[in-house]
Chain A
Amino acid sequence: MIRFLLNRELRVEQQLDPNMTVLNYLRSTPGKTGTKEGCASGDCGACTVVLGELDGDRIRYKSINACLTFVSALNGKQLITVEDLKQGSELHPAQQAMVDCHGSQCGFCTPGIVMSMFALGKNVTHPDKEKINEALAGNLCRCTGYRPIIEAAEQMYADVTPDSFTSEQDATMAKLREIQPQQQAELSDGTKRSFNPTSIAELSTLLEQYPHARLLAGGTDLALEVTQFHREIETLIYIGDIPGLKQISVTEQQIELGASASLSSCYHTLNNDYPDFGALLHRFASLQIRNQGTLGGNIGNASPIGDSPPALIALGAKVVLRKGHQSRTINLQDYFIDYKVTDQQPGEFIEKVIVPRAADNGEFRSYKISKRIDDDISAVLGCFNLKISNGVVESARIAFGGMAAIPKRASLCEQALTGAPWTMATIEQAKAALQQDFSPISDFRASKEYRILVASNMLTRYFVEIETPEVETRVTAYV
């Protein structure tokens, strides 16, 4: 049984297909058709809805893709859809601004855009253009060219009258408190089942009981198996209700990121130490995806591209794997063995990721290359962490995504650099060595020749950025 608020109305669901997405649930069960399916793959944002989560004495609102969220993730939360914003005949400021600025044409992307704007308004009082772009980067519009939508986003903040969500906040919080997960929830349609453990101990027991169960965190990748590849997942274990797996802590020595901490919630910590990691996260899929997707999930799905593993490997991150009461810590680079093959043993789960502090690392830079700036999968992602002292490369950790079957270090390139003088001549040698490190493939994102050339050109960019910081090196600086 899962319990959640559909806006402010309590819903209790017991017999649902755990493979059902929130989008399909909304459109079928309560018959709320305002939320649209544009792609069912989390790439267009037409299905954007907002989740309200209790966070101490406030509710935290986040935009998510309803098409990639399984219903079990609603447990204990408030689900807000586009239909909930209008009060009587009065449009919500986010809606009114879209009307005033001529922000809707065909209108099919509009509900999603309104919900992204609504969530932004709940989280940032006076967002700048960067925040607005960030909030909307996961919402495709084919009609307007976005100018009126951005204008609407800017305009809606002029309106400071509290909306119904603010005025009802106390009552909603009271309702949310009542449904906070206290014990393990379960959902089943008779054949498929899902569990929502509330502690690491419960999770461990479940994994022993169902060693082939699939772990569900954000689900932004896992859900594609259902919506795009039409597989059925028999047993799901949703780990989002386990507070212990979401913790983020920073000590003098290291940063610890819980496996089910969302990518959004990791942003600040990582950005503080490594601004380029922050910039990378900014371009990691879309805000909706980052609000759901987790660091642990991004590692666990073992994508050859990333985007976080190459950065984490370059930074020397470790991963803590746990099984029952036992845990082991390994270097993240050793976690990846081959295409979609990892060192994770049956019954094991990722508990946390440990990243060294900036003071212990060199100059970190990450370069994401993709066809489109927003919400695109990298053709190549290169991450560089070099320590240079007295004109000599003291150490080099370089990792790439999109260049091999796994996120991988450029060992020969690192060797060419380590101990060598910090000059363009060394960079040229490192580039040559890099050619030996990888033999990437050609696909619709890029040819192997482009991947190799761009990967080696990144060394030039890195050199220029370190040596002549006044030289412009990134078109993204103009965004």
Chain B
Amino acid sequence: MFDHKKETSYEAMLELVKQDLKTGVGRSVKHESAAKQVSGEAIYVDDRLEFPNQLHIYARMSDKAHARITRIDTTPCYEFPGVAIAITAQDIPGIKDIGALKPGDPLLVEDLVEYYGQPVLAVAAGDHDTARKAAMAAIVEYEELEPVLSVEQALQNNHFVSAPHTHKRGDSASALATAKHRLSGSVHIGGQEHFYLETQIASVVPTEDGGMIVYSSTQNPTEVQKLVAEVLDIPFNKVQIDMRRMGGGFGGKETQAAGPACIAAVVAKLTGRPAKMRLPRMEDMMMTGKRHPFFNQYDVGFDDNGMITGCEMKLAGNCGNSPDLSDSIVDRAMFHSDNSYYLGDATITGYRCKTNTASNTAYRGFGGPQGLIMPEIILDEIARSLGKDPLEIRKLNLYGDEGRDTTHYYQKVEDNVLPEMLADLEQSSDYQQRRAEIKEYNASSPLLKKGLALTPVKFGISFTATFLNQAGALIHIYTDGSIHLNHGGTEMGQGLNTKVAQIVAEEFQVDFDNIQITATNTEKVPNTSPTAASSGADLNGKAAQNAARTIKQRLVEFAVSHFKVTEEDVEFRNNHVVIRDQLMPFADFIQLAYFNQISLSSTGFYRTPKIFYDREKASGRPFYYFAYGAACSEVVIDTLTGEYKILRVDILHDVGASLNPAIDIGQVEGAFVQGAGWLTTEELVWNDQGRLMTSGPAGYKIPAVTDMPVDFRVRLVENRKNKEDTVFHSKAVGEPPFMLGISVFCAIKDAIASIGDYRKSPVIDAPATPERVLWAVREMQQLQSPHSVSPTAEITP
């Protein structure tokens, strides 16, 4: 403590204040929890000490995709010793629907089952196994209804969760009619399971005021607070959400975490006992929503050079059975259907198709990737049809100077770094030389073929629901100079807490270790937005900076009056405060301020400036700025089996002025691999009853260690601050690099196209599983020589 600190000499202090802070902004500070995570000391919700009267909950899932419940009888549940309660929709004290923005997500089915896996009833018992056995013993009878299981069927029948919406610039119909060349097609883009390693979980403890303390693994504590209060029919101020860390989120815990929390809260309310609900992996995968699968159609016109002159796209998102966040998700697909390119006269229509599957939800990129992949598919088609290298066509169509710098929703693309970045990456990845080498390899390799693709990403940063672009923070400085930091964002592994603490460290010029990061808690910072849309550090970093600056201003004013100096004389430097020619350790100065009755605590607030969007006119500036990236991927495929391997990946990504390069590179690499997984091995398969067949990691294959590129080179764009006034001129990084994975998809297609001498782009749905690759190979071989499909004819001895 302060009193016991040894005196530091003036000279020693002088030496220190000449040095920069080593753990401030821009430094690769280690993740704040790393040491606890590697030793098993980091506590996740399921690791919390349980109470002697602890209840565990299991929810019984519907085994019909579409049905009316004719009877539920929970009497048999009570035959199992240890069962405390079995609840159905009737037992919910308050609102029975937990839909995020619109209703459609009953906490427990009232009468209409809308997907296979929907929770019908829940049982709480002294242990999880008993709860499950009892729940499965309940009698549930159904009257089956015809399910809608395919997005095409829903589209055909106008079976939507909400109305279609269109972005329109110019007259695409006449642009297409008069285009020199025209291509059209359609493609299915698969969904994606989040596969956060920690499944959905909430643990709830009743309070003496009739409220609840909820430990929830959620990206959205405020919404869980609201929904728990609503299902219990109590005011929000009786519900406290506490969230220290998630074992992964990726968007999957933005709305989907609320269900277990609300069910546990109802159980806790009705029994007066603490209750925990953790979804086993299979239940998690069947019950909760995923990335939206899309069915996309396009019609594009272009000139002899391959420049797009007009474009129409129909993007049909498979929303599952309820609206959830699908309005915004399909909007974001539409916003990103240009990726980095000027589309000419364009009409982009988004459809929100309703099917009897789990309600699809937020997932890293939030619909953006499913739209953004379209121009990459289209430009490959154009390049092949003109016999040109796809990279040439991509560069040609990039946003550019006036006349070619406005999106189809009328936002001007300012600070477009992509032409430079693409030129840089083309050179640093030796694109042209490798292109030549690959052609040579393919000519001499009868069975294995290599492919190469370089694709850009432009991703809009801000919640498109403008009001969500706000954040709060809370800082206390204690009299020993140690700092307590809290903010509204949530830590899911992305390093948000580390970055925000670095920002506060930088502001006060104190070591990172001097700042205690604490669990996100609705009692500390209220009314927060979800940690989503890559906005965590942008919003919460600014709010924490604001809180720090409020306290700092008070401290400066105090120093000015106390030491009779000017504001310019007071400087915070490397754990010290410089007051003209006097030097003081930060802790000493704080104690002095305390004795002089200076408030050492403050909240902070931030809202994003400049953004506005008129959805009726489909026009505005929904995004504060764009984040950019580019990736060059090389793959090898096997034409006999469709197997493939990523060989080399070069990435150049723009994070503005990085808050923490190591964490940012971690985000870029992790997002890339996740994006590549989405488009390659991660295949969701449902049977004709609407049951998810790939309901565990045995069947659903996320990338494993060998899927990493053999040669993986990641660079951040250097010396390029965000032009906008973001926190230390950094840029958001969570989602944008996810879409760099598209380069792998395009490289696989490039390898397949080599079989047809690059004259046609193979048609292949995502994900490009080995099976899909093999069928595309076959199609290309038949196109090449319809009579002989043997690739080995030339090597027969």
CB contacts (< 8 Å) of A81 on chain B: these are 40
Residue of A35, A107, A379 touching B37 (CB-CB under 8 A): A107
The yes or no answer to A359 lying at the interface (CB within 8 A) is no
Q: Which of A3-39 contact B (CB under 8 A)?
A: 31-39
Q: Which residues of B lie under 8 Å from residue A109 when comparing CB positions?
A: 197
| 0 or 1 for each of B13-55: is its CB under 8 Å from A? (1 = yes) | 0000000000000001011011111111111101101000000
Q: Are B792 and A143 in contact (CB under 8 A)?
A: no
Interface flags, B786-797, vs A, CB<8A=1, else 0: 000011110111
Bound complex: CA A34 to CA B40 (Å)? 4
Check if A471 sits within 8 Å of B645, measured CB to CB.
no
Could you tell me which residues of chain B, from 220 to 252, have a CB within 8 Å of some CB in chain A?
245-250
**Interchain CB contact under 8 A, B685 and A150:** no
Q: Across the interface, name the chain A residue whose C-beta is closest to B285.
A: A39
Contact check: which of A374, A377, A447 meets B698 at CB < 8 Å?
A377
Contact of B673 with A145 in the complex, beta carbons under 8 Å: yes
The reply to whether B673 and A107 contact each other, CB–CB distance below 8 Å, is no
Cβ of B571 within 8 Å of any chain A Cβ, yes or no, is no
Q: Does A137 interact with chain B (Cβ within 8 Å)?
A: yes
Taking a contact as CB atoms under 8 Å apart, the answer to whether B638 and A102 are in contact is no
A145-B674, A146-B673 in contact; A374/B248 too (CB < 8 A)?
Answer: no
Name which of B174-182, B418-426, B703-711 contacts chain A. Answer: B703-711
Pairwise interchain contact B636-A108, C-beta atoms closer than 8 A: no
**Which of B320-328, B443-451, B511-519, B618-626 binds A?**
B443-451
Is B38's CB under 8 angstroms from A99's CB? yes
Assess the A458–B640 pair: CB atoms within 8 A: yes
Q: Judge whether B641 and A444 touch: CB under 8 Å.
A: no
Q: Which residues of A lie under 8 Å from residue B699 when comparing CB positions? A: 377, 444-445
Closest to A149 in B: B705
Interface 0/1 of B695-717, CB less than 8 Å to A = 01111011111111010101000
Type the 1/0 row for A409-422, where 1 means its CB is closer than 8 Å to any CB of B.
Answer: 00000000000000
Distance of B736 from chain A, by nearest CB (Å): 15
Q: How many residues of A contact B (CB 8 A)?
A: 92
Specify the chain B residue showing the minimal Cβ separation from A283: B706
Q: How far is the CB of A287 from chain B (nearest CB, A)?
A: 11
| B606 is an interface residue with CB less than 8 A from chain A | no
A464 within 8 A of B: yes
B778 to chain A: closest residue by CB? A453
- Contacting residue for B774 out of A85, A99, A453, CB 8 A: A453
A106 near B795: Cβ-Cβ < 8 Å: no
Q: In this assembly, does A467 line the interface, its C-beta being within 8 Å of a C-beta of chain B?
A: yes
From B196, B248, B705, A146 is in contact (CB under 8 Å) with B705
* A145/B38 contact (C-beta < 8 A), A43-B696, A464-B792 known: no
Report how far A171 CA is from B657 CA in the complex, Å.
54
CB of A110 closer than 8 Å to a CB of B: yes
The range of chain B's interface size is: 35 or more
| CA of A94 to CA of B38, assembled, Å | 9
- B33 to chain A: which residues have CB within 8 Å? 104, 107
Cβ of A64 under 8 Å from chain B: no
Q: Which residues of B contact A228 (CB under 8 A)?
A: 282, 696
* Chain A: minimal CB distance from B653 (Å): 13
Question: Known contacts being A34-B40, A44-B197, A375-B704, is A144 close to B247, with CB within 8 Å?
Answer: no
Residues of B within 8 A of A137 (CB): 704-706
B282 nearest CB neighbor, chain A only: A228
A166 interfacial contact with B, CB 8 Å: no
With both beta carbons as reference points, the residue of chain A lying nearest to B281 in the complex is identified as: A39
Q: How many angstroms from the CA of A160 to the CA of B282 in the assembled complex?
A: 42
Contact indicator B795/A461 (Cβ below 8 Å): no
Q: Measured between alpha carbons, how far is A102 from B699 in the docked complex, in Å?
A: 29
Are B40 and A111 touching (Cβ within 8 A)? yes
Known: A34-B40, A374-B705, A446-B771. A44 touches B697 (CB 8 A): yes
Kindly state whether residue B669 has any CB partner on chain A within 8 Å.
Answer: yes
In the complex, what residue of chain B is closest to A369 when comparing beta carbons? B641
A28–B195 CA distance with the chains assembled, in angstroms = 25
Judge whether B698 and A478 touch: CB under 8 Å. no
Contact in complex: B445, A472 (CB < 8 Å): yes
User: How far is B81's CA from A359's CA once the two chains are assembled, in angstroms?
Assistant: 63
Give the CA-CA distance A478 to B250 in the complex, in Å: 30
Alpha-carbon separation in the docked complex, A142 to B775 (Å): 29
CA gap between A39 and B281 in the complex, in Å = 5
Interface flags for B436-457 (1: CB within 8 Å of A; 0: not) read 0000000001111000000000
Whether B670 pairs with A478 at a CB distance below 8 angstroms is no
- B31, B448, B698: the one within 8 Å of A104 (CB): B31
Q: Tell me which of B46, B194, B672, B697 contacts A43 (CB under 8 A).
A: B697
Q: Check if B38 sits within 8 Å of A91, measured CB to CB.
A: yes
Give the distance in Å from the alpha carbon of A109 to the alpha carbon of B44 in the complex: 12
Contact present for A145 and B670 (CB under 8 Å): yes
Which of A140, A143, A379, A468 meets B493, CB within 8 Å?
A143
Contact partners of A464 in chain B: CB under 8 A:
446-447, 792, 795
Task: Note all chain B residues with C-beta closer than 8 A to A358.
Answer: none
**Which residues of chain A come closer than 8 Å to B771, judged between CB atoms?**
379, 446-447, 450
Q: Tell me the bound Cα distance from A230 to B195 in angstroms.
A: 22
Check B245 against A107 for contact (C-beta < 8 Å): yes
> A residues within 8 A CB of B792?
424, 460, 463-464
Q: Are A454 and B774 touching (Cβ within 8 A)?
A: yes
Please give, as numbers and ranges, the residues of chain B lying within 8 Å of A458 by CB-CB distance: 640-641
Distance in angstroms from B677 CB to nearest chain A CB is: 9
B565 at the interface (CB under 8 A from A): no
**B662 interface hit (Cβ, 8 Å):** yes
Q: Which residue of A lies closest to B662 (CB)?
A: A102
Q: Is B248 touching A108 in the complex (CB atoms < 8 A)?
A: yes
- Docked pose: A475 CA to B636 CA in angstroms: 7
Once the chains bind, are B46 and A33 in contact (CB under 8 Å)?
A: yes
Given contacts A33-B46, A38-B281, A38-B697, 18 further A-B contacts (CB under 8 A): A41-B696, A83-B40, A95-B35, A106-B247, A106-B493, A137-B706, A142-B248, A143-B494, A146-B673, A147-B712, A230-B129, A230-B133, A371-B701, A423-B796, A460-B791, A468-B795, A472-B447, A478-B636
* 8 closest A-B pairs by CB: A34-B40, A106-B493, A108-B247, A107-B37, A145-B673, A105-B493, A43-B697, A374-B704
Instruction: List residues of A whose CB falls within 8 A of some B CB.
Output: 31-41, 43-44, 46, 81-83, 85-86, 91, 94-96, 98-100, 102-111, 114, 133, 136-137, 139-150, 228, 230, 367, 369-377, 379, 423-424, 428, 443-447, 450, 453-454, 457-458, 460-461, 463-464, 467-468, 471-476, 478-479
Interchain Cβ contacts under 8 Å between A and B, 15 examples: A32-B40, A33-B47, A44-B197, A82-B38, A83-B39, A103-B38, A106-B198, A109-B197, A141-B197, A143-B666, A228-B282, A370-B770, A371-B681, A372-B703, A424-B796
B interface residue numbers (CB < 8 A to A): 28, 30-31, 33-44, 46-47, 49, 129, 132-133, 194-199, 245-250, 280-282, 445-448, 492-495, 636-638, 640-645, 647, 662-663, 665-666, 669-674, 681, 683, 685, 693-694, 696-699, 701-708, 710, 712, 714, 769-771, 774-775, 778, 790-793, 795-797
